[in-house]
Structure formats: C-alpha cells, structure tokens
Chains A and B, each alone.
Chain A
C-alpha cells in the first residue's frame, strides 16, 4: 500500500452501501450494506458468481448507478449524491473503463476510439491525437492508428479499449471481466498490461468471476448474496 488510511482519506470508500431493485413482492436487495475502503495504488478484485451483486457494486463505485442508501466517497468527499452533470464529469476525468465486450465503435479508427473520452472532455483534436498516439504506441498499437476497429483481433480491440480507459490518466481503472472474451494467450497479454500499470501506481478494480484473474490482484473482495463474505489481502 502506498498510503496509510490514518494519514489521508482513502481514494474510494463506501459506507453501508445498499441497493434495492423493485418494490413489493419483486423487491430484491442486490447489495445489503457494504462498507470498505480502497486506497491509492491498490489492485482489487471484486469477485463473485453471477447474480452475487458484484456488477451492481461496480456500477455504484463507478457512479453509473445511485445507491438506495449509503454513500460512495472519493478522498473523503461524498460523490454519490452529486448532480448528474458533475457525476458525468467525475466519470469522464477520474475513471477509466475496460469492458468485457470492448464496446469500440466498429466504423471509427483506433485513434478515434481511444480518444473518445478526450473528445467528450472538449480537448482539441490535435491534442487528442498527440495523447492518443502516445498511449497507443505504449500499448504497441502505434502501427494501427488509422485502422478501423472492426478490422482488429480481439486482443487488439481490448488494447484499444485499455488505451481509451487510460487516455484521461484516470485515478481508478475499472475492468469488468477484461479477459472474458479473450483466449488464454491473449488474456495473459492483457493481464500483463493491466498489472504492469498497477505496478506503476495505477489503482485497479477488476470485477470478475474468474478465480485465476482474481488471484493476480493484491486484494480480493468476495461478494455473495449482496454481502462481503471475504476481504483478504494476498501478498503478491
């Protein structure tokens, strides 16, 4: 750990986080009061089976959803009750997202896909291209800048997706089943990239049901039926 909880507020924390879907007979409590902290530079796996509530938790942490009760705070500031516009800005500037299915725009170029968050943030085109080129070169995609996303292999697509997640130098990188759609060889490469970034200080939150991937994270938060059943730090 790079920072002590006693000296500065944690990067991300939750308090008694509850998320209920539906009402009456259809009422489902997806999360039943979770409280934990994530500190700068950690690599955390949120692990659980399908329906355990791990995706709901990630949506709440990533401010894509609002808790029924409880709060999400960043550096001691409550962010879960901000206005939609401010939340959008937090997502745009402080989070990076890597999705299982990449979600690239098939008809746009690699460079255009990777620089989408900058485009949303109103960064001028020349600057977007400069930063995009730099990150894509770092991820060994420098020779595919002008290629259409539709023409890439799965591994290449996920690299573009990682480039897009990193382009705004996020404080937290969320990866939702990042290797779920890749063969084992490509998975290894993507894992190397993600954990390599974590070694350089990038806070990483991986949501997965894959025990092998979870084991590569320094900390595992295991979710079952909307509750944390295990929060362990494995010495990597």
Chain B
C-alpha cells in the first residue's frame, strides 16, 4: 500500500465511527488547546517584556549588590551561634541581607568606566505640597535610578547633581496639578512643589523641589509614584536618618551604577565588581529573570496540559483497541491478500496519527482564536491602562512543535493497538463463525 493510500484508508476508517472518533479527539483537543493557550500567553508576556526592555535600550545602568546576597544561606537561616568578630566582612546588613556602606560605594566608583553610582535609598516622604497648597501623601517614593528607566510623557530625568532637588511625577499624578489630559503634561514642568520629611525625632523639615518630568507607567513598577532626583533623595534620606544633629551612617542594599558604553564594557564591569565581592546585573539580566519566571510558570501549565494529553492518549489506545477488535476480519483479509505485518502496523498507527492530527488542528485553532480574541478584549477593555501590553502572541514555530508533540504522543498511543493488529493471524481472523 502506498503511503497516500494508507493515509486515506486510515482517514476513512476513523471517519466510519464518527462519534467514537469525535469523543477521542475531544480529549486531545483539550490538551492541544491548553498547550496553545499557555505557550501563547507565555510568548505574549515575554514579548511585552522584551518590548519594555527594548524601550529602555539606551540604559547604561548596572544594579550592584554585595555578592553574598546571591547566596541562599545568608541572613534568615538558623544555625550555630557564631562568635563575634569585629574584623569579619559583611558586618553591615539590613533585615539580614548584607548591605553596602559609603566605603563600598566609593570602591565601586573607582572601577574603570563607571561614571556615577547612585545607591538605592528608601526615603520616607511625609507629604508633597503642590503649588495650590494641597498636600498629598507619598506612600512609597521611587528610586532616583528609576528616572532613567521610564519613558517620558513630558520633560525628562532630573540631573545627578547633589544640589539639584528635582522630581519626576507619574502621569497619574497630573490631576494633582489640575491637568486632566496627558497631552498637556508639559504644563507641569518647572512647577515648584514642597516636600516634607520627618527626622528620627518626628520633626518635619521641608525641601523645595522642581518637577522636571512626567513618567509613563511600566511593567516593572517604575514610574508609578513620584521619583525624587539623586540630590533630592540624598537630602530626604539625611533628614530621615538624623536625630538631634547626629546622622546615622547610610547602608544600602543595592546601588545603581551608570556605566560608560555598557554594551562594550559589560564583561569588564562585572569582572571588576566580582573582584570587590559585588555582583552587577544589567536591566536585561533582571528582565531575563522575570522572563525566566514566566517561562517557569508557562512550563508548569504546559505540564498540566501534558497530563491532559496523557489521559487523552489512553483514550486513543482504548478506541483503537476496540477498532482492532471490530476489524479483525478486515485485518485478516488484508494480510491474506498480501499486506505485510509492517503495513498493517503502519495503517493502525496512521489512524492514531489522524486522531492526533484532528485533535491538534482543532485544539490549536481554537486556542489561537480564543487567545487572539481574548487578548484583544482584555487589552482594549479592563487592561487598557497598561500601555503596550500583550497577553497572547502566536508563535508559528511553537504551534508546530505542539502539533508535533501531540501527533508523537498519539503515535505512541497507537503502537499498542497497531502491534496487536499487526500480529493477528489471518487464519484466525478469517475463520467462519
């Protein structure tokens, strides 16, 4: 039998018992649909992240942390009590996480090609007063380094000068300045605000700052609250950490280093940081981490889909075993008329493949339609406030792989009944009764 004839015969045979085939195919469809959805969602979100990373492609920042932070057994792990050693390294820590002090920051500044180091400081702003005198709370101010990670609806990032007290506000804060339309965001630039912070004794001190930019919100969370500039951050931090004329020395969990030509010098910077027991991560490294998490979640769901397919494969085995039983005589005739066992095997595994093919075409088609339509409904509906969001992307290669995996599983499921058909004795099969 030619392959073409085998395929058409297999197709005709599967179509003969329509209801049974249909029910078996449904199980495969469920698996294919789930795989298509999860991989499409994974692809869509990763695409969105990539777009976000690309949008800030010119960022030359490297996030620097003490190397031990990467060790799993630092900080909160219980263990044997250790004797105090005043000379031990990593004596500074916050919440059990090793942190850096001014000395470390200076060391980082010494590294070749590092232009500027901006320690990440958590500052506590009591309130922000707009020119019309209204006071707004600022639950969590952004970090100065975020200024170069966001996209601007108006203005731009503040300067890195220590005496420049500048502020970037998110688009959502425009209403506080009586601006209803993002198109008029320019009007807020150069407006003066008053920022009030408390020192450790609860005394309020004020700083005047200038609005220099309006930031769009991004997936990273950067730009969702007002971002003080480097100098302003330092100033607020100093107020926050002062009591009765004494300022507690700052410690930092992390610092953002601006690098000259990061693309070229990335390897050198990372190596030099390693030498002083620091770890450097570019934005892409960190985004890659998020992408990795999304990939992991995608794989978990893919795992569920594969379990569904495993169940479906037993359906295929069952259906084809019944089919082999019912068509014993046909198989006997085929063999008596000169069909080889190999071809009988091929015929029945092709029927399994037909079921897999039907299931994957319907499932992948359905998954793609639901994904595309669902994506359109969500990003134009409840999620339209997130700019550039994609929740679902069609990746032809991934769909092809899904189809091949399903057809492969169907084929494997078909081998048991196909073997049974291939080993049937034509004499037994053709006995009259």
- The chain A residues found within 8 Å of chain B, CB to CB, are 59, 62, 64-65, 84-85, 88-93, 97, 99-101, 103, 105, 107-108, 116-117, 119-122, 125, 164
Contact, CB under 8 Å: A120 / B334: yes
The 7 closest A-B pairs by CB, nearest first: A92-B338, A91-B338, A88-B340, A88-B338, A103-B333, A120-B339, A117-B337
In the complex, what distance in Å separates the CA atom of A121 from the CA atom of B340? 11
Can you report 25 A-B residue pairs in the complex whose CB atoms are below 8 A from each other? A62-B336, A64-B336, A64-B427, A65-B427, A84-B341, A88-B339, A92-B338, A92-B339, A97-B337, A99-B430, A103-B333, A105-B330, A107-B12, A108-B12, A117-B337, A119-B9, A120-B334, A120-B337, A120-B339, A120-B343, A121-B338, A122-B1, A122-B2, A125-B5, A164-B337
In the complex, what distance in Å separates the CA atom of A152 from the CA atom of B342? 32
Contact with A along B411-433 (1 / 0, CB 8 A): 00000000000000011001010
Which residue in chain B gives the minimum CB-CB distance to A91? B338
Contact, CB under 8 Å: A97 / B432: no
Chain B residues near A64: list those with CB within 8 A: 336, 426-427
Contact, CB under 8 Å: A59 / B427: yes
Assess whether B329 is interfacial by the CB under 8 Å rule. yes
Chain A residues near B430: list those with CB within 8 A: 99, 103
Chain A residues near B342: list those with CB within 8 A: 85
In the complex, what distance in Å separates the CA atom of A74 from the CA atom of B323? 37
Assess whether B16 is interfacial by the CB under 8 Å rule. yes
The size bracket of the interface on B is 20 to 34
Besides A92-B338, A121-B338, 16 new A-B residue pairs in contact (Cβ under 8 A), listed by A number: A64-B336, A64-B427, A84-B340, A84-B341, A85-B342, A88-B339, A91-B338, A99-B430, A103-B332, A105-B330, A108-B12, A119-B1, A120-B1, A120-B337, A122-B2, A122-B5
Which residue in chain A gives the minimum CB-CB distance to B327? A105
In the complex, what distance in Å separates the CA atom of A186 from the CA atom of B109? 107
Contact with A along B356-384 (1 / 0, CB 8 A): 00000000000000000000000000000
Contact, CB under 8 Å: B16 / A107: yes
Nearest-Cβ distance from residue A101 to partner chain B, whole angstroms: 6
A85 touches which one: B5, B340, B426, B427 (CB < 8 A)?
Answer: B340
In the complex, what distance in Å separates the CA atom of A201 from the CA atom of B20? 48
Chain B residues near A62: list those with CB within 8 A: 336
Which residue in chain A gives the minimum CB-CB distance to B342? A85
Contact with A along B315-335 (1 / 0, CB 8 A): 000000000000001101111
In the complex, what distance in Å separates the CA atom of A100 from the CA atom of B432? 8
Dominant secondary structure of chain B at its interface with chain A: helix
Contact, CB under 8 Å: A88 / B335: yes
Which residue in chain A gives the minimum CB-CB distance to B433? A101
In the complex, what distance in Å separates the CA atom of A93 from the CA atom of B339? 11
- Residues 236-285 (chain B) with a chain A CB within 8 angstroms: none
Contact, CB under 8 Å: B427 / A117: no
Which residue among A62, A93, A116 has the maximum number of chain B CB atoms within 10 Å of its CB? A116
In the complex, what distance in Å separates the CA atom of A101 from the CA atom of B9? 22
Which residue in chain B gives the minimum CB-CB distance to A104? B333
Chain B residues near A101: list those with CB within 8 A: 432
Chain B residues near A122: list those with CB within 8 A: 1-2, 5
Which residue in chain B gives the minimum CB-CB distance to A90? B338
With A100-B432, A101-B432 as given contacts, are A91 and B5 in contact (CB-CB < 8 Å)? no
Which residue in chain B gives the minimum CB-CB distance to A92? B338
In the complex, what distance in Å separates the CA atom of A101 from the CA atom of B432? 8
Chain B residues near A91: list those with CB within 8 A: 336-338
Chain B residues near A108: list those with CB within 8 A: 12
Contact, CB under 8 Å: A103 / B1: no
Chain B residues near A84: list those with CB within 8 A: 340-341
Which residue among B335, B337, B339 has the maximum number of chain A CB atoms within 10 Å of its CB? B337
Chain A residues near B330: list those with CB within 8 A: 105
Nearest-Cβ distance from residue B406 to partner chain A, whole angstroms: 28
Which residue among A85, A88, A100 has the maximum number of chain B CB atoms within 10 Å of its CB? A88
Nearest-Cβ distance from residue A31 to partner chain B, whole angstroms: 14
Nearest-Cβ distance from residue A80 to partner chain B, whole angstroms: 15
In the complex, what distance in Å separates the CA atom of A164 from the CA atom of B332? 15
Contact, CB under 8 Å: B329 / A103: yes
Which residue among A84, A103, A122 has the maximum number of chain B CB atoms within 10 Å of its CB? A103
Chain B residues near A93: list those with CB within 8 A: 338
Chain B residues near A107: list those with CB within 8 A: 12, 16
Which residue in chain A gives the minimum CB-CB distance to B332? A103
In the complex, what distance in Å separates the CA atom of A231 from the CA atom of B81? 106
Contact, CB under 8 Å: B337 / A92: yes
A117 touches which one: B16, B338, B432 (CB < 8 A)?
Answer: B338
- Residues 377-414 (chain B) with a chain A CB within 8 angstroms: none
Chain B residues near A121: list those with CB within 8 A: 338
Chain A residues near B334: list those with CB within 8 A: 116, 120
Chain B residues near A120: list those with CB within 8 A: 1, 334, 337-339, 343
In the complex, what distance in Å separates the CA atom of A121 from the CA atom of B343? 11
B336 touches which one: A85, A89, A97, A125 (CB < 8 A)?
Answer: A97
A89 touches which one: B5, B338, B426, B427 (CB < 8 A)?
Answer: B338
Chain A residues near B339: list those with CB within 8 A: 88, 92, 120
Chain A residues near B340: list those with CB within 8 A: 84-85, 88
Contact with A along B92-113 (1 / 0, CB 8 A): 0000000000000000000000
Chain B residues near A59: list those with CB within 8 A: 427
In the complex, what distance in Å separates the CA atom of A91 from the CA atom of B335? 9
Chain A residues near B16: list those with CB within 8 A: 107
Which residue in chain B gives the minimum CB-CB distance to A124? B2
In the complex, what distance in Å separates the CA atom of A97 from the CA atom of B9? 22
Chain B residues near A164: list those with CB within 8 A: 337
Which residue among A90, A107, A119, A164 has the maximum number of chain B CB atoms within 10 Å of its CB? A119
Nearest-Cβ distance from residue B377 to partner chain A, whole angstroms: 45
